[in-house]
Amino acid sequence: MTEPTDTERAVEARWLAWEGMVKDNAQVIAQVPDEHLIGDARAASRAGQQRFEYGLEMQRRLKVATEKLTAELVMFRESAEAAAERSEAAARRSEASAAKLERLTRWLIGFTVVLVVLTLAVLALTAVLAAKG
């Protein structure tokens, strides 16, 4: 591999300097509020200037906002699904409890009927024994 010439070194130095300026400019533009960035981009467009940095920064912000929104939507969807699962589980437990309560109520009514019948039998037997004795 050959050593770069002075011209190639100069081109490389200019490229690195330009790249540094672009990075510095990008950092400055990143600090600008959205309203000002959009306003500056419109003003530059009306003046016939091409300010690609503004467009790049707006695209970057849009991408970041889209990623955040997507993450929030995914989190919301997962949360909603978990809530639905919890709700379904609670409904199943509630249905099971209602069925158990219904079954116990039927048993209680049955025992009450038996108790009334036995009470009537005791009363009848008492009346018979009182009449005989």
Q: List, for residues 18-42, the tens digit of each pLDDT value.
A: 888 877 777 777 777 877 777 776 6
Q: Calculate the alpha carbon distances from 38 to 15, 25, 68 in Å.
A: 29, 16, 21
Report whether pLDDT(118) > 80. yes
The reply to whether 116 falls in a domain is: yes
The reply to whether 12 falls in a domain is: no
The reply to whether 86 falls in a domain is: yes
Residue 38: what pLDDT? 73
Report whether pLDDT(49) > 70. no
pLDDT, tens only, 75-117? 999 999 999 999 999 999 999 999 999 999 999 999 999 999 9
Residue 61: what pLDDT? 86
CB atoms closer than 10 angstroms to residue 37:
19
Sign of CA dihedral 47, 50, 51, 55: positive
The reply to whether 43 falls in a domain is: yes
The reply to whether 101 falls in a domain is: yes
CA 15/CA 21 separation, integer angstroms: 10
Give the predicted TM-score (pTM) of the model. 0.48
> Band of the pLDDT at 47, cuts 50, 70, 90?
low
The reply to whether 73 falls in a domain is: yes
Parent domain of 91: 32-132
The reply to whether 5 falls in a domain is: no
CA 31/CA 61 separation, integer angstroms: 11
In terms of Cα–Cα distance, which of 63, 41, 45, 42 is closest to 53? 41
CA 18/CA 27 separation, integer angstroms: 14
Structural domain count of the chain: 1
Residue 39: what pLDDT? 75
The reply to whether 13 falls in a domain is: no
What is the average pLDDT across 64-81? 94
